[in-house]
Amino acid sequence: MTNTIKPSKPTILYVDDDIENLTSFKALFRRLYHIFLASSAKEAIDILRSNDILVIITDQRMPGMTGSELLEIVAQEFPNTLRFMLTGFTDYNPLVDAINNGRLHGYFSKPFDADCIKSKIDNNLKSYYLELENIELLKRFQQNERFLDTIIENIPNAICVKEAKNLSFVRVNHAGAELIGYSKEELIGKSAYDLFSKEEADALTKEDNDVLLSSKALDIPEKEINIPNKGVRWVHTQKIPILDDSGKAQFLLTLCRDITEHKQMVKKEAALQKQILELKKTQALGRLARGVAHDFNNMLSPIISYTEMLKMDISSDEGNKSLRLYLDGIYTAALRSKELVHQILTFSRKSEQKFYPIKLEPVINEALVLLRSSLYQNIEIIEMIDSNCGSVAADTTQIHQIIMNLATNSCHAMEENGGVLSVELKQVTLDFDSSGGREFACLAVQDSGVGIEQSIIDKVFDPYFTTKENNKGTGLGLSVVQGIVKSYNGDISIRSAVGIGTEVIIYLPICEV
């Protein structure tokens, strides 16, 4: 017991209008208690308001205010002060009234009986101090409880406590409730079968029972759990049995950390490392391609020039018809080779390019005019071009190359059975990165050709990957298109179904002119 609760000498206020009684009382008890004396109720109230009085003893009959009236004021204003009345047999009615109204802790009969007074005061003080101590202990317990609650609630990891008998929740912190997707109040008394699917609940319950039976902690670095309304989450879980004095498991403590974002980050890092590796391969391939393309161009130039001169020198006589066909074949092959070299150089070029605002409509029209001249008769072109579509920061030659590559791919897909080639341009508003809507030019090229199998559609943008026959494609077309689109901070996607056709959609950001 601290001195703040139990003083060395308790303070007692004795109230009596008889001076001799006051003197006698102080003489009897001055060694045991710290005595205050008052000859009237008014004086007693002044002393109470100025001092910390533990016990008040008052005579009943006093001028101005009776003892019972004084005790009523004390009970209201100083409820923690122990209240006693000194009375004779003639004061029986006020005494009963004071006891019934809770104003008294006890009474003493006249004349003074020192032993009786001391015994009653000490017994009441003992109860009083015990009550104060209990209040103090309760206060400390509540403070510790609040302190512990604050710690538990502010821990970012989920903390759950289940009772061992039926594995129902008895305590869950905020992070635990957040992870499971219910309020703390909703979780108390619930088991896994009230919250998860039976399959999930069976697995969790088996783990819990294994820990309780073994009385050993279990650490699960990675665990997949399917949470209703949240889907699959990955967690690092620790299950710890809480044992009683006999060593029997009484509760199960579960500590759980959501590592879903961490796993996603690790996955992204692995993908980034793969991209870096692919970039290094591409850079090496680009250096090789630039060297080969340069030398190849040097060889192609005289082939194309001499072929053109031969075509001009040879007459159109019937006898030279076969020779002209051969020259046309050489010339066409040389032009295709030149186009291939251009694609290789475009794919391998890593230098910074300058782009200017251009309208897409005239470039598309120019490309389609060129395409129609060499188009198979069984292929129809449908144009849906919005002339009001805004400008994009781009290079005209590269935009032309995008359209020709996509349209050529579509034509090859419809070469055997014919079909419809649809080219659409419109302006749309999109929100790719949740930073607010932005305006984009949407270019869609669609065909009704053979389509692409879903098992390989993710590979169509890979360099040199092609679904065409060996003599009908290089596998660079879509890769080049994707590279150009990405350099414009745009996006490209492809949708296809076997026997139905393919659609490639490109989004290029609108720029202010």
Residue 281 phi, psi dihedral angles, 5° rounding: -65, -45
Mean of the pLDDT values across residues 481-508?
90
Topology (CATH) of 11-140: Rossmann fold (3.40.50)
CA dist., res. 61 & res. 91, Å (int): 8
Domain limits, the chain: 11-140, 155-258, 266-350, 352-513
Q: Which residue has the higher pLDDT, 17 or 293?
A: 17
What's the CATH number of domain 352-513, 3.30.2350.10, 3.40.1190.20, 3.30.565.10, 3.30.420.40? 3.30.565.10
User: What is the SS3 assignment for 12-24?
Assistant: EEEECCCHHHHHH
Residue 205 CB partners (closer than 8 Å, separation 6+):
167, 191, 192, 193
Check: pTM over 0.75? Answer yes or no. no
Rg (CA), the chain: 48
pLDDT at 44: 93
pLDDT at 461: 77
Secondary structure of residue 426 in the 3-state scheme: strand
pLDDT at 356: 85
Q: Among 31-35, 317-321, 471-475, 505-509, which range has the highest average pLDDT?
A: 505-509
Same CATH fold assignment for domains 11-140 and 352-513: no
CA dist., res. 406 & res. 446, Å (int): 9
- DSSP classification of residue 389: P
CA dist., res. 8 & res. 34, Å (int): 9
Topology (CATH) of 155-258: Beta-Lactamase (3.30.450)
Residue 359 phi, psi dihedral angles, 5° rounding: -90, 135
Percent share of the chain, pLDDT over 90: 18
Topology (CATH) of 266-350: Helix Hairpins (1.10.287)
Provide the pLDDT confidence category of residue 425 given band limits of 50, 70 and 90.
Answer: very high
Residues 223-281 pLDDT 10s: 888 887 778 888 898 999 988 888 888 899 999 888 888 888 888 888 888 878 777 77
Residues 96-143 pLDDT 10s: 666 666 567 777 777 777 788 888 888 888 877 787 788 788 888 878
CA dist., res. 393 & res. 449, Å (int): 32
Beta bridge partners of 59: 86
pLDDT at 142: 79
